[in-house]
A and B are shown apart, each in its own frame.
Chain A
Amino acid sequence: MASAVFVLDLKGKVLISRNYRGDIPMSAAEKFMPLVLEAEEEQQAPTPCFTHEGINYLYIRHNNLYLLAITKKNSNATTILLFLHKLAEVFTEYFKELEEESIRDNFVIIYELLDEMMDFGYPQTTETKILQEYITQESHKLEIQVRPPMAVTNAVSWRSEGIKYRKNEVFLDVIESVNLLVNANGNVLRSEILGIIKMKCYLSGMPELRLGLNDKVMFESTGRSPSRGKAIEMEDVKFHQCVRLSRFENDRTISFIPPDGEFELMSYRLNTQVKPLIWVEAIVESYAGSRIEYMIKAKAQFKRRSTANNVEIYVPVPDDADTPKFRSSIGSVHYAPERSCLVWKIKQFQGGKEFLMRAHFGLPSVKNVDDPDKKPPIGVKFEIPYFTTSGIQVRYLKIVEKSGYQALPWVRYITQNGDYQLRLPESIKNNKMTPI
């Protein structure tokens, strides 16, 4: 429960605000920035919620803005922070970009949204698609007055009635992001797959959908075995609010009435013991005061018939490195001084292949010793189409609507990098002068 919500710029100036309960002086927002700065000065990382003189501040950062909520009660912190994120999301979907400029330009609609999304500090309707049905930028041009869409208060609060498509189609995207953390010795510390199933739904009426996956728990509970391939074991699953959770809990059936258009149906998480898909090894040799050299080996550890596209390997280099020289067996390398790293781009990286790259940088002869070296990890970006690491499969998608139309489901699989970090090994230090 929030007493008031503010949008502030980075200096802490309030751009727009809404007072929901009138129980906290709105001037409390003026204290926000000084308090954050004070925490920073004391070398304590400012936390997303803090309390000061009986007022609790909860905030998130979005681009160059702070979204702040204040409350004087022992409110639900998770709810408030998630609401602020939701607010940022809705604003972004309304104005493309959420920043100072778009707030100034759209203050009327922002007030309307703030009024509709929260009442007396309690979140209400926060679905952009539904909000857009009755809060529009051109509302005054409408001849007929808008009414609250049925969906606002329906049990099906995410879909309006009377939707019509000439061609009924559903597109499913199964996207798996691989999170990886490898330590400097090359040991995998963590490897995790975060999968999402995205849906683009172009269906008429109020269709009932049922999605079948090769879910191990489901097969086990029904005593059946997968017809082909193996079943996968998801550690945790999260569903869009349209999915009936109790049915899933009972018999692992994923049944739902979908929202119209694009949405994220579900996400799942599993830990894997599989080899990291793109493996990167680095040997760093530094000659203090003169140069630093990198030898990077990249290996695609998946089946030969798959190919990773748009692979980008980010290798951190010292902030003061200069005069880069590169040599690589494939792709292109460039130096990105603004990010203090070199970027090795490989358009297509076939499974099972291995490539080498060498880089050479000059270092200034004098270095500030007091500056401790930052040690960011190597990062990798990639995309492998037609492939999932987990082996998840969509077995069927049943679509039933009372008008009895036939609808076509399409499925596409893709694996990509998530938080993919390999820590850089300690550089081999050569302090002696080497013969020229």
Chain B
Amino acid sequence: MMNSDSSLSIKDSTYAVSTVVKSIMTDFRISRPNFFSTPKKGENYELRADLNSEYRDRRKDAIKKVIANMTVGKDVSGLFPDVLKNMQTDDLEQKKLVYLYLMNYAKTQPELVILAVNTFVKDTDDSNPLIRALAIRTMGCIRVEKIIDYLCEPLRKCLRDENPYVRKTAAICVAKLYDLSPNLAIDNGFVSTLQDMVSDANPMVVANAVTALAEINESSSTKDIFIINAPTLTKLLVALNECTEWGRIAILAALAEYKPADSKEAEHIVERVVPQFQHVNGSVVLSAIKVIMIYMRAIKNEEAIRQLVRKMAPPLVTLLASAPEVQYVALRNINIILQKRPEILANEMRVFFCKYNDPPYVKIEKLEIMIKLANERNIDQLLSELKEYASEVDVDFVRKSVRAIGQCAIKISEASERCVNVLLDLINTKVNYVVQEAIVVIKDIFRKYPHKYEGIIPTLCQNLDALDEPEAKASLIWIIGEYAERIENADELILTFLDTFHDENFQVQLQLVTASVKLFLKKPQSAQNIVQRSLQIATTECDNPDIRDRAYIYWRLLSTDPQAAKAVVLSDKPPISVQSNAISSSLLEELISNISTLASVYHKPPETFLGRGRFGADAVQRRAIEEQEEASRESPIQAQTKTNIENLLDLDFSDTNTVNSTTSSLPSSSKSITQPTANVDDLLDLFNDNTITSTQSSSNIQNNSVSNDLVNLF
């Protein structure tokens, strides 16, 4: 990069000087390629000398070195005034580097930034649109209050620039300004200019105007900054076909916010959006799908809906050919879409079969979707796939595959026997974690189909010794208690567990207490010892209140009225059902409105992860500001640099103080976060829900069975 012309810059020096310089330059040339060399003592001192050198190339190299230091995280903020002096240059690369430096250190040297204003303003008048745009873009990034006032005039000019490249950059700059000072952006008429720019002849300008307006609208308290009316709608639909991929995403996002007047209008807009399914950019495709999913709420025409659903399937499937990270986001979204419109991919289960080299996070999402798509017709194929996955090496994936088999059994009763057989095959592999997982899901199958598969109990009991996970143990003990009358050696089995009662996890202990009571009620003669022992241990030697209390309840029940105890403990329990709507309907609608965003990936409403308080959005911003302020405080050379200020530029500082007071209303204050109502809805849903949802955690079993027992009591 360093060219041999460097000697040209020193041609008019005297011979003596130039030889000296030449020798320095040669030295420099040797060390130069390594901008990241280890810091030497007084490096900043040397850099300062170079930055003030009379030779252009030397100054430029020094700037590069400064930026290199900045890149590796060294503090070079002390060189601020020296770097600043190099801002006025015809060398575009050098200008960009100085601008970059300014963006990074403006916060640490707020009172020095003002010195850059003159050059900035001059650059926004440059004959080269590249420099005009660069200046306005950078000015917007310098988040220092003092500079904001100086930004307004150049910005006004740039918004009306004849060159679309400058206009599109200025459009984004309005959003930057609004972020720092909403009032200034509105009072200067920038926001309304932005609204006019939606009609700009250039699609890229339209796209950025829409982007900026959407952002401003979101952070405004009134939410009335960006309202789409009929003429804007037409403009957006035209620009949609003309602008770049990223612009299309912005326009589609804006369309998603629009509320169509009636079914007819919705159909009309949808017609214009559907062609975007053919765009190569997956984000354009997913944004288009989001618009369609939202508009379908308004479309009354059944035939139109069916057409749309049909058209949506191929682009969704094609998203699975993207990079794995994008696939992951697509899969999380397909999961949501399927819950709303299960018919969309009804015949496409094969495309979700896992490939050996899929990353784990993709495999697990595919698994979820396959369960959703499982039906009587494809279950055989799915089971043979799941069996295959259960023999892979990734333990987490194997467990989830085994669970999926159980979920299929509960979901499709016609196939439950086939599922159980596959699980038995898997138990026979004797692979420890497979066996344990299989037992956990078989317990759920028993709860769904009571007394149907008792024949397999002996096989399960054979694996008793292999169990070391609490959940698997608890599941098997539950099965033993529930089917005690069918298991000859049930008392022996329970006894072996009782011996190690103290070492067991509490969910195993709870199951043991319950199982021994069941055993006693079913086989009073042989199990009296057992029940006494287990209740004894649980009430006297156990400090877990849940276990103690439950043991006391059983004890009193048994001693007061054994018949009543029988009615309570051994009553028939309602079979469980798989909750196919894992997401509540109110949350589902919210997630559909958020397709392709982080909310759709987390399956959580945005408020829950944007949050409030210590980790809330405002708190994060505050921390960002603090971090920068801290950096400025730590900056060691700052004090001494102040002395350099005067001789740099002749600027009158007296009015800067007034600037301060007018612009002190910082944007973060205006960002009020609306409190989520969805959370409350979810809770309500929970309470309205009187079917018992099947969750695999067996701690739920206990709760459920307890509550059932109680219900039956009254």
Across the two chains, which residue of chain B brings its CB closest to A377? B356
Kindly state whether residue A81 has any CB partner on chain B within 8 Å.
yes
Q: Known: A81-B325, A238-B280, A244-B241. Contact between A269 and B314, CB under 8 A?
A: yes
B186 within 8 A of A: no
* A132 located at the interface, meaning its Cβ lies under 8 Å from any Cβ of chain B in the complex: no
CB-CB under 8 A for A153 and B104, given A108-B97, A112-B96: no
Partner of B283 from A1, A26, A78, A377 at Cβ < 8 Å? A78
A229 within 8 A of B: no
A79–B241 touching, CB < 8 Å: no
Contacts of A140 in B (CB 8 A): 1, 60, 91-94
- Chain B residues with Cβ below 8 Å from A126 are 244-246
Task: Fill in one digit per residue for A125-166: 1 if any B CB lies within 8 Å of its CB, else 0.
Answer: 110000000100111110001111000111101000000000
A76/B253 in contact, CB under 8 A = yes
Tell me the complex Cα distance, A416–B159, Å. Answer: 51
| Cβ of B627 under 8 Å from chain A | yes
Whether B627 contacts A26 by the Cβ 8 Å rule is yes
B601 near A54 (CB under 8 angstroms)? no
In the complex the two chains form, is A374's CB within 8 Å of B620's CB? no
A16 to chain B, nearest CB (A): 6
The residue on A at minimum CB distance from B363 is A45
CB distance from A22 to the nearest CB of B (A): 5
Q: Is B481 an interface residue (CB 8 A)?
A: no
**Other-chain residue from A56, A85, A104, A115 in contact with B609 (beta carbon distance below 8 A):** A56
B10 an interface residue at 8 Å Cβ cutoff?
A: no
Q: Which residues of B contact A54 (CB under 8 A)?
A: 609-611, 615-617, 619-620
**C-beta contact mask, B345-360 vs A, less than 8 Å → 1, else 0?**
0000011010111011
Quick one: given A60-B323, A77-B600, A248-B278, are A148 and B67 in contact (CB under 8 Å)? Answer: no
Set A73, A119, A147, A239: member contacting B128, Cβ < 8 A: A147
CB-defined contacts of B602 to chain A, threshold 8 Å: 49, 51
User: Quick one: which of B137, B249, B286, B598 has the most chain A CB within 10 A?
Assistant: B598
Shortest Cβ gap from A388 to chain B (Å): 18
Q: Report the interface size for chain B: residues with CB under 8 A from the other chain.
A: 124
Contact residues in A for B97 (Cβ distance below 8 Å): 108, 111
Shortest CB–CB separation between residue A91 and chain B, in angstroms? Answer: 15
B202 touches A153 (CB 8 A): yes
Chain A residues, CB < 8 A from B621: 23-24, 72
Contact bitstring A10-22, B, C-beta under 8 A = 1, else 0: 0000111001111
Least Cβ distance of B219 to chain A in Å? 9
On whether A245 and B431 interact (CB within 8 A), knowing A48-B329, A51-B598, the answer reads no
Is A406 an interface residue when CB atoms closer than 8 A count as contact?
no
CB atoms of A245 and B241 under 8 A apart: yes
- A147 and B129 contact, Cβ closer than 8 Å, known pairs A1-B215, A111-B96, A152-B165: yes
What residues of A have a CB within 8 angstroms of the CB of B280 in the complex?
238-241, 264, 267
A360 contacts the other chain (CB 8 A): no
Contact stretch, chosen from B168-176, B369-377, B456-464, B554-562? B168-176
Interface stretch, picked from B189-197, B301-309, B385-393, is B385-393
By the criterion CB–CB under 8 Å, are B326 and A25 in contact? Answer: no
Shortest Cβ distance from B429 into A: residue: A372
Which B residues are CB-close (under 8 A) to A41? none
Complex Cα–Cα for A19 and B70 (A): 13
For B166, the closest partner residue in chain A by CB is A148
- Expressed in whole angstroms, the minimum distance between the Cβ of B358 and any Cβ of chain A is 10
- Asked if A368 is at the interface (CB within 8 A of a chain B CB), the reply is no
Which of B175, B246, B272, B384 contacts A120, CB < 8 Å? B175
* A72 in contact with B620 given A45-B360, A238-B318 (CB within 8 Å): yes
Is the CB of B396 closer than 8 A to any CB of chain A? yes
Q: How distant is the Cα of A147 from the Cα of B616 in the complex, in angstroms?
A: 42
B211 within 8 A of A: yes
* A431 close to B (CB within 8 Å): no
A238 in contact with B278 (CB, 8 Å) = yes
CA distance A79 to B250 in the complex (A): 10
- The answer to the question of B364 belonging to the interface, with a C-beta cut-off of 8 Å to chain A, is yes
Known A-B contacts A43-B395, A45-B396, A139-B93; A189 and B350 likewise in contact (beta carbons under 8 Å):
yes
Taking CB as reference atom, which chain B residue is nearest A53? B615
* Interface assignment of A237: CB less than 8 Å from any CB of chain B: yes
In the complex, the answer to whether A82 meets B392 with C-beta atoms within 8 Å is: no
Known contacts A48-B325, A123-B246, A189-B350; is-contact A236 B93 (Cβ 8 Å): no
The yes or no answer to B130 lying at the interface (CB within 8 A) is yes
- Interface residues in A32-82 (C-beta closer than 8 Å to B): 43-49, 51, 53-56, 58-60, 71-79, 81-82
Bound-state Cα–Cα, A107 to B94, Å: 13
Contact of B361 with A by CB under 8 A: yes
B329 contacts A49, CB within 8 Å? yes
Q: How far is the CA of A81 from the CA of B176 in the complex (A)?
A: 23
- Nearest residue in A to B314 (C-beta to C-beta)? A236
A236's nearest neighbour on chain B, judged by CB, is B314
List of A residues within 8 angstroms of B597 by Cβ: 74-77
A365 within 8 A of B: no
Judged by a CB distance under 8 angstroms, whether A27 is at the interface is yes
Do the beta carbons of A75 and B598 come within 8 Å of each other?
yes
Q: Does A190 contact B (CB under 8 A)?
A: yes
What is the CB-to-nearest-CB distance from A146 to chain B, in angstroms, rounded to a whole number? 7
Residues of B within 8 A of A74 (CB): 594, 597-599, 606, 609-610
| Residue of A48, A138, A248 with most chain B CB atoms under a 10 A cut-off | A48
Q: Which residues of B contact A59 (CB under 8 A)?
A: 325
Q: Flag B387-424 by CB within 8 Å of A: 1 or 0 each.
A: 01001110110000000000000000000000000000
A122 close to B208 (CB less than 8 A): yes
Please name the residue on chain A nearest to B397 by beta carbon: A45
Interface: B140 (CB within 8 A): yes
Report how far A169 CA is from B282 CA in the complex, Å. 31
Contact A122 B283 (CB under 8 A): no
**Chain B CB within 8 A of A235 CB:** yes
With A108-B97, A152-B204, A236-B317 as given contacts, are A23 and B350 in contact (CB-CB < 8 Å)? no
For residue B575, CB closer than 8 A to chain A, the reply is no
> How far does the alpha carbon of A300 sit from the alpha carbon of B12 in the complex, in Å?
76
Complex: chain B residue closest to A137, CB-CB: B1
A183 at the interface (CB under 8 A from B): yes
In the complex, which of the residues A45, A53, A155 contacts B359, with contact meaning CB atoms closer than 8 Å?
A45
Q: Is B204 a contact partner of A153 (Cβ separation < 8 A)?
A: yes
The verdict on B574 contacting chain A, using a C-beta distance below 8 Å, is no
A427 located at the interface, meaning its Cβ lies under 8 Å from any Cβ of chain B in the complex: no
A423 interface residue, CB < 8 Å from B? yes
Q: Is the CB of A148 within 8 A of B133?
A: yes
Assess whether A189 is in contact with B36, with CB atoms less than 8 Å apart. no
Whether the pair B67, A181 counts as a contact (CB closer than 8 A) is no
Give which listed residue, B204, B241, B624, contacts A24 with CB less than 8 A: B624
User: Please, how many angstroms separate the alpha-carbon atoms of A54 and B315 in the complex?
Assistant: 32
Flag whether A222 is at the interface (Cβ < 8 A).
Answer: no
Chain B nearest Cβ from A240, distance in angstroms: 6
A190, B104: Cβ atoms closer than 8 Å = no
Select which of B321, B431, B617, B627 is within 8 A of A372 by beta carbon.
Answer: B431
Q: Does B669 contact A (CB under 8 A)?
A: no
* A166 vs B36: C-alpha distance when bound (angstroms): 46
CA distance A246 to B277 in the complex (A): 11
CB <8 Å contact, A194 and B321: yes
- Complex contact A23–B620 (CB within 8 A): yes
**Contact A49/B133 with A248-B278, A269-B317 known, Cβ cut-off 8 Å:** no
Closest chain-A Cβ to B446's Cβ sits at a distance in Å of 27
Residue of B67, B137, B272, B330 touching A78 (CB-CB under 8 A): B330
Compute how far the CA of A146 lies from the CA of B205 in the bound complex, rounded to whole angstroms. 21
**A-B CB contact pairs (8 Å), 25 listed:** A19-B103, A25-B626, A45-B360, A47-B328, A47-B361, A60-B325, A74-B598, A82-B282, A108-B67, A108-B93, A139-B93, A140-B93, A140-B94, A145-B131, A148-B165, A157-B244, A183-B388, A189-B385, A192-B351, A236-B278, A241-B279, A245-B275, A248-B275, A269-B321, A377-B356
Other CB < 8 Å A-B pairs besides A22-B143, A74-B599, A78-B287, 8 of them?
A58-B325, A73-B610, A139-B93, A140-B93, A145-B130, A236-B278, A245-B278, A269-B321
Q: Across the A-B interface, give the 3 residue pairs with the lowest CB-CB distance, nearest first.
A: A45-B360, A236-B314, A54-B615
